[in-house]
Each structure stands twice: as structure tokens, then as C-alpha cells.
Amino acid sequence: MSKVRAYIGLGANLGDVRATLTGAVHALGSLPGASLAGVSRLYVTAPVEVTDQPDFHNAVVALDVPAGPGSNSGPIALLLALKSIERAFGRQERIRHGPRELDLDLLIFGDENMAVIRPEAGRSPDPEKSLRLLEVPHPQAGRRLFVLAPLADLAPDLVPPGWPESVETARARRESIEGASAVRAVAAWEAGLGRWSPERTAATESQPASRPPAGIDR
């Protein structure tokens, strides 16, 4: 079966965040038929909307996965795998924009441009979100600097389906709105070690990220 390059957004702000995200990277790379194609730097980003919570850590993983036997089957299968990994790492449903043990978002799946009803196992138990469609590319990825910064580490020249610009152009545009300090790279992925190694001191990492403008749906 042919392979497709998918990009997965990772985020967490509860518990041992770095250990959780490192474990999630390895879990993604261990999915049946999948292979890890790249891991972005690790970023610290300020929470949005609900600001009374810890800063988030965010990253993006490039994953080569089976395309699937039919229309939309590949993205749906990957969505279900992401939800399973979230649950394995203790994901609890809370208020929208609230804290997360682990959040995995399907950002891009090859050249797919789709909006379909999610299978029941891929839905949120939150009634507010339970009927949300599975949309690929992720409909808000182009407005999220905490997605665009790590995605630009891996695919700066990529123009996702339906986008009017490249990932790097979108990143620069959002940075001009939110400010360069809205996201801070704190570690680089070392493939040989299978972990992120700090780029800055622990004191630097502990400094809060600046608050982005309201209205960005995390």
C-alpha cells in the first residue's frame, strides 16, 4: 500500500509534559505501517482563551502512513489512532481551551482536502464538540502560531491543500501579529537519542510565554 506524508500537532500542559510528548512521538512512530519522518523543535506557548493554566509545550511530527484502501479511509484511520494514543496517555475531556494531558491534531494528510463526519470513536464526549467534522487540513492550523512554528521547522515551503501561501509565509504573518515571543523553542529533537535536548537553560524555559490575542481556537 502506498504511503502518505502526514503532519501531527502535539500539545500538553499537565503532568510531566516533556516525558508525555516524547512518549507520544515514539507511539506515533510505532503505529502499524507508519514511519517517523521528522520531529520539530519543542516550543513553549502561552494558553489562549483560558489563560489561568500552565503554558503549553507544542511540537509537530511528520509521519509517513498508509494512504488507506479508499477515499478518506487513511485520514480516518489515523484520527482513530491519535485518539487511542491520547487515551493511553490519560487524556481527559475538559472545558474548551482548557488544560490537556495530551492533544494530538491531524494537521495535514498528503494532498487530502476533506470535511467528513467523524466515526463515533473519533468524536469528543464534550457535547459542544461531538458533532465537529473531521477537516483536513486542520481548518485553524494557518491561524495558530503554536502550530505554524514547529510545522515550519519540518516543511517551510509546503503549501497545504487549500492554503494561499506556504507554511513559512503563514508563520511569518502570524508572528507579525502575535510577536516573536509568543512561541519559544526550548529543545531540539535528537533522532539518535529519541528525545528532545534543551536549546536553552531551564531558567529560560520557565519564563512565561507572552499572551497571544484572543480568538485562536486551541
CATH label of the domain that carries residue 60: 3.30.70.560
The predicted pLDDT at position 96 comes to 65
- Domain with 10 in it: 3-140+183-199
Q: What grid cell was written down for 11?
A: 500539545
- Is 105 catalytic? The answer is yes
Report yes or no: 154 and 189 within 8 Å, Cβ to Cβ: no
| pLDDT score recorded for residue 201 | 43
CB-based contacts of 163-172 (< 8 A; 24+ apart in sequence): 163/137, 170/142, 171/145
**Active-site choice (5, 16, 55, 91):** 91
Res 213: pLDDT: 41
Point out the catalytic residue in the list 41, 55, 103, 174: 103
Per-state percent for the chain, helix, strand, coil, to nearest 5: 30, 25, 45
State the Cα–Cα distance between residues 147 and 91, nearest whole angstrom.
Answer: 20
User: Residues 41, 55, 105, 118: which is the catalytic one?
Assistant: 105
Residue pLDDT tens, the chain, 218 long: 699 999 999 999 999 999 999 999 999 999 999 999 999 999 998 877 767 778 999 999 999 999 988 778 888 899 889 999 999 998 877 656 667 889 999 999 999 988 777 666 655 555 455 556 688 899 989 999 999 999 999 999 999 999 999 999 999 999 999 998 889 999 999 999 999 998 754 334 445 555 444 334 44
Q: Answer whether residue 205 is part of any domain.
A: no
Cα distance between residue 191 and residue 212, in whole Å:
31
List the beta bridge partners of residue 191: none
Is 161 among the domain residues? no
- Any domain includes 75: yes
Q: Are the CB atoms for 76 and 121 separated by under 8 Å?
A: no
pLDDT at 119: 66
* Three-class secondary structure of residue 96 per DSSP: coil
Predicted confidence at residue 137, as pLDDT, reads 93
Is 100 among the catalytic positions? yes
94 catalytic? Reply is no
- Examine residue 177 and state whether it is found in any structural domain, yes or no: no
Do the domain assignments include residue 65? yes
Taking only Cα atoms into account, the Rg of the chain, rounded to an integer number of angstroms, comes to: 16
Task: Provide the CB-side half-sphere exposure for 180 (13 A, CA).
Answer: 0
Annotated catalytic residue, options 100, 118, 174, 218: 100
Q: Which three cell numbers, joined as nine digits, stand for 118? A: 467523524
In a domain, 52, yes or no: yes
Tell me, yes or no, if 52 is annotated catalytic.
no
Helices (H), the chain: 17-29, 73-88, 145-154, 167-178, 202-206
Which pLDDT value is given to residue 86? 92
How many independent structural domains does the chain possess?
1
Question: Residue 103: inside a domain, yes or no?
Answer: yes
